[in-house]
């Protein structure tokens, strides 16, 4: 599962964060300003999340035509950030701890990733790729029917999402994003995405469906949780759908990723070691 691409679905650019608590009668932020605000907030949040290490569980289910479970794959990892870039250290696969040799290979891979993203050039390259995806999402989606809700005592603005008719997609990712409809909830004070729930309202085809087809009804749901120090961390990503590649029909699938047990850590960029910090 391409988590990096799914996460850019919640990136949309912001200007200034208002410190006052809004009243229900206050005008809603303009959609374009709100889009800009979310991207700006996401960039700042990447540095804040770097203080955390979390336990991540991923599950991918292959389903039968009747919706019953045919096959399940699962992974458990320790996830952390280096210079804003997420790195996952695999701990378990299908419920089993890695063998000694597999763990050694995984430690070596993680050390290489830490070294890679300790290089400012590599970080900038990754950031530029993400920014291109951000910009594409900005152009492909529009916000309508805004309103204000309250969640956990915090003002949250809600908008309907749909493909922008003026956007002309070319790549599969662009066609996929334009085919999305749903809602986005944004914390008004921080500019953080609280929840994103979207689905495709039509089939997304490659070469007229000859090579691949993501069918109508693919669903994606994301939740973020505010930590005691104000940092927002994604605690749930889930979805379901079905697709076809070439002449092979793939049954319905669903995926789920949960993030728990987040702790404050520091990462040594040279050795790759992680040190637990005292919680504030």
Q: In the 8-state DSSP scheme, what is residue 26?
A: S
- At 17 the pLDDT is 32
pLDDT tens track of the chain, all 280 residues? 455 555 445 444 332 233 344 565 677 777 667 666 666 666 667 677 888 999 999 999 998 878 889 999 999 999 999 988 899 999 999 999 999 999 999 999 999 999 999 999 998 898 888 878 877 887 899 989 999 999 989 999 999 999 999 999 988 889 889 999 999 999 988 888 899 999 999 888 665 444 456 778 889 999 999 988 888 899 999 999 876 554 445 568 899 999 999 998 765 545 555 555 543 3
Q: Are 200 and 217 in contact (CB under 8 A)?
A: yes
Residue 17 main-chain phi, psi, to 5 deg: -90, 120
pTM attached to this predicted model: 0.80
Q: How many CA atoms lie within 13 A of 245 on its CB side?
A: 3
């Amino acid at each position: 599962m391409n988590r990096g691409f799914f996460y850019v679905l919640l990136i949309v650019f912001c200007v200034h964060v208002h410190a006052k608590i809004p009243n229900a009668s206050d005008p809603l932020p303009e959609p374009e300003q709100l889009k800009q605000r979310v991207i700006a907030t996401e960039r700042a949040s990447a540095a804040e999340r770097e203080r955390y290490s979390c336990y991540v569980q991923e599950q991918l289910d292959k389903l039968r035509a009747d919706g019953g479970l045919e096959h399940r794959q699962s992974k458990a990892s320790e996830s952390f950030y280096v210079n804003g870039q997420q790195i996952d250290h695999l701990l378990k696969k299908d419920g089993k701890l890695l063998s000694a040799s597999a763990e050694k290979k995984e430690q070596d891979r993680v050390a290489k990733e830490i070294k890679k993203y300790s290089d400012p050039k590599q970080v900038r390259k990754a950031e530029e790729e993400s920014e291109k995806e951000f910009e594409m999402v900005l152009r492909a989606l529009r916000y309508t029917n805004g309103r204000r809700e309250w969640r956990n005592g915090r003002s949250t603005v809600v908008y309907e999402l749909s493909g922008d008719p003026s956007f002309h997609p070319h790549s599969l990712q662009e066609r996929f994003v334009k085919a999305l409809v749903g809602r986005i909830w944004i914390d008004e004070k921080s500019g953080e995405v609280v929840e994103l729930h979207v689905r495709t309202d039509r089939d997304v085809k490659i070469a007229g469906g000859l090579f691949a087809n993501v069918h109508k009804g693919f669903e994606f749901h994301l939740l973020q949780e505010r930590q005691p120090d104000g940092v927002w961390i994604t605690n749930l990503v889930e979805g379901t759908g079905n697709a076809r590649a070439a002449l092979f029909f793939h049954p319905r699938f669903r995926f789920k990723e949960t993030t728990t047990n987040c702790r404050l850590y520091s990462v040594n960029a040279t050795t790759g070691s992680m040190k637990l910090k005292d919680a504030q």
